Amino acid sequence: MEAAAFPWWIWPLALFAVTFLLGIVAVLAGVGGGVLFVPIVGGFFPFHLDFVRGAGLLLALSGALSAGPALLRGGLASLRLAMPLAVVGSITSIGGALLGLALPTSFVQAALGVTILAIATLMWRSKKSEHPGGVRPDALGEALHMHGVYHDPASGRDVDWRVHRTAAGFFAFAGIGVLAGMFGLGAGWANVPVFNLLMGVPLKLSVGTSGFLLSVIDTSAAWIYVNRGAVLPIIVAPSIIGVMLGAKIGARLLRVAPAATVRRIVIVLLLAAGARALLKGLGWWN
């Protein structure tokens, strides 16, 4: 049935319902809402991808800003670690946003599909290291004071952390910024592996700092979409409200829900949404 056959209010209401569920699932699976929102809403709702990407960035930004205070207060995010990388990521996210708004929609849609399929594969195959060993601090990381101590509440001990491969980390976050800006995705799916596996940051600090970093990178890109007029409140507001409420429920379910099963469901969702975006971009399934 044609989307135009429905009254206008069905779509914001459906958006609220879907984003509410995404909020629950995102918390349980440990991913940001943006990475699910853009391909699913872009693929299955009647909104143009330009507006969906703008909403996706604001959605990811709202979640990151809301989670930030608790993470910073608890020492599970580090300003010192994030600040230098955020400058690079925010500059490239502006470039990504401008590029995404300049390229033909079909190209962006197909590239989004490929990116989402790659993210699903990364989530499926990626390893994690709770406390990476063998970190040999480099001169750049030391000069930027990228080191510290955080208290791990689970083990009850203080963990001394430092970074290595700092230059490679800067390059990686430059690339992540481009993808975040171009596709309107939050970038937690990429931040955590780069912090943890590339730079040797302990896993919990990687997850917490990723959220903080995302709030800075997404702010820069979001302004480009706002200034270009690509932010429609009728799409943005129900999405933010839905995801935030869903995330609260998800946080309550966290103790009892089977996280591994939810994560597998998210990977299947990403594969389906990525395939849909790719086929839509190629003009094979409109």
> Which residues make up the interface to another protein (CB under 8 A)?
3-4, 7-9, 11-12, 46-48, 50-51, 58, 61-62, 65-66, 68-70, 72-73, 75, 78-80, 83-84, 86-87, 90-91, 94, 98, 101-102, 105, 143-145, 215-216, 219-224, 226-238, 240-241, 244
Closer residue to another protein in complex, CB, 46/258? 46
Here the tokens at position 183 are 């596709």
Least distance to another protein from the beta carbon of 185, Å?
A: 17
Closer residue to another protein in complex, CB, 64/119? 64
Here the tokens at position 201 are 């940051």
The pairing of strands 147-152 and 157-162 is: antiparallel
Closer residue to another protein in complex, CB, 1/4? 4
Report the alpha-carbon distance of residue 65 to residue 172 in Å, rounded: 22
Least distance to another protein from the beta carbon of 266, Å?
A: 25
Closer residue to another protein in complex, CB, 200/211? 211
Closer residue to another protein in complex, CB, 240/267? 240
Which among 275, 249, 281, 280 is positioned nearest to 119, based on CA atoms? 275
Which among 130, 109, 120 is positioned nearest to 31, based on CA atoms? 120
Least distance to another protein from the beta carbon of 79, Å?
A: 5
- CB-based burial of residue 39 (10 Å sphere; 0-12 exposed, 13-18 middle, 19+ buried)? buried
Are 222 and 57 in contact by the 8 Å Cβ rule? The answer is yes
Least distance to another protein from the beta carbon of 45, Å?
A: 9
Which among 185, 192, 213, 203 is positioned nearest to 90, based on CA atoms? 213
Least distance to another protein from the beta carbon of 100, Å?
A: 11
